[in-house]
Chain A
């Protein structure tokens, strides 16, 4: 699976994950109430400067906001329609800046570091009987399932093509669901055989 993580080390990689998350949270709270275009344009400029400071590979990641352009265009059109295009631009600048800033944290923090950083936040879950270790296990299982499910989909698609001579498309969905549930039964049995999920009850 492709990751959003940047393999080249930058100075932002060195900062602790918890600190970056906290800074992002505080910044998003601080940026919320401002609606003036100069302030928001400034924030966006600072964000872009941060990307420049992180190097060329990071700058290339700015393209990640491309899928959002249609919605940004619609948003701007509606604000223009209401006769407040300056306000619309300010909102747009804040959205872009916050999305890019959050993405900078994702880009420079490994997934397991992120998991470690949020584990203390998860510990109150113990009170309702959920072990943070079970959460970590669920995350690991989900990530492992994704390529497995892809392979399953491919196999179903190939058999369909062999039988029908065309692509299966949505017709594969029901057999896909049945097969994946079989897979989950096997996984659950294997998990139970190895002592079960942390803090869970077997079967």
Chain B
């Protein structure tokens, strides 16, 4: 792996951690919806780094969590989270970043904002919830339908995060085009 890729993987893993530790954003039109900025970390990693590096950033992040760093939202971390009901979401982060990055690379020719929006929504919501809901059903012995219902309250927040991710990708594409590695060749 190239030095630059290694550093960027570490960087996006760290951004993921910072997003979980920051005080909650006050997003004006979503008062009351439980939002942690963290799933945005997965969307960003995929959209910015592309499939493989994005997924690796999430693998690194989970590895550091397993080593004992409390970097998940709300200061959670350690081996305990891998035995909790939301473990599906943890592995979903990897898949989410991969799929988001892959879509970003496929839509290379499209304008940044719509491409990033599709990538973040499909990767960060569809794929992530598929993993999260499956994990929850498995861990809590609930039926898939019940597990889905239990997860639904988070979707509005994640939709907003997908839009934010796309806005950020567009701004970065303007300000520092070479930083959008998912489109670099």
Contacts and interface: CB of A to CB of B under 8 A. Distances in A.
B3 A192 contact: yes
Given A1-B69, A102-B80, A174-B175, A145 B14 contact: yes
A18 interface: no
A164 interface: no
Contacts of A72: 85
B70 A181 contact: no
B140 A99 contact: no
Contacts of A187: 7, 11
A139 B56 CA distance: 12
Contacts of A180: 11, 15
B150 A188 contact: no
B70 A2 contact: yes
Contact of A2 (B48, B75, B84, B142): B75
Contacts of B168: 173-174, 177
B15 to A, nearest CB: 6
B18 A150 contact: yes
A161 interface: no
Interface residues of B, number: 61
Given A139-B60, A143-B64, A134 B6 contact: yes
Contact of B139 (A74, A95, A101, A196): A95
A28 B68 contact: no
Contacts of B176: 178, 181-182
Query: For chain A, what secondary structure do more than half of its interface residues adopt (helix, strand, loop), or is it mixed?
Result: helix
A150 to B, nearest CB: 6
Contacts of A169: 25-27
22 contacts: A1-B69, A64-B76, A68-B85, A78-B149, A79-B140, A81-B146, A100-B80, A106-B68, A106-B78, A138-B60, A139-B10, A142-B17, A142-B61, A142-B64, A145-B11, A146-B21, A178-B175, A184-B4, A185-B4, A188-B8, A200-B1, A201-B1
Interface of A: 1-5, 21, 24, 28, 35, 64-65, 67-68, 71-72, 74-75, 78-79, 81-82, 87, 91, 95, 98-103, 105-107, 109, 111, 114-115, 118, 129-130, 134-135, 137-139, 141-143, 145-146, 148-150, 153, 167, 169-170, 173-175, 177-178, 180-185, 187-188, 191-192, 196-197, 200-203
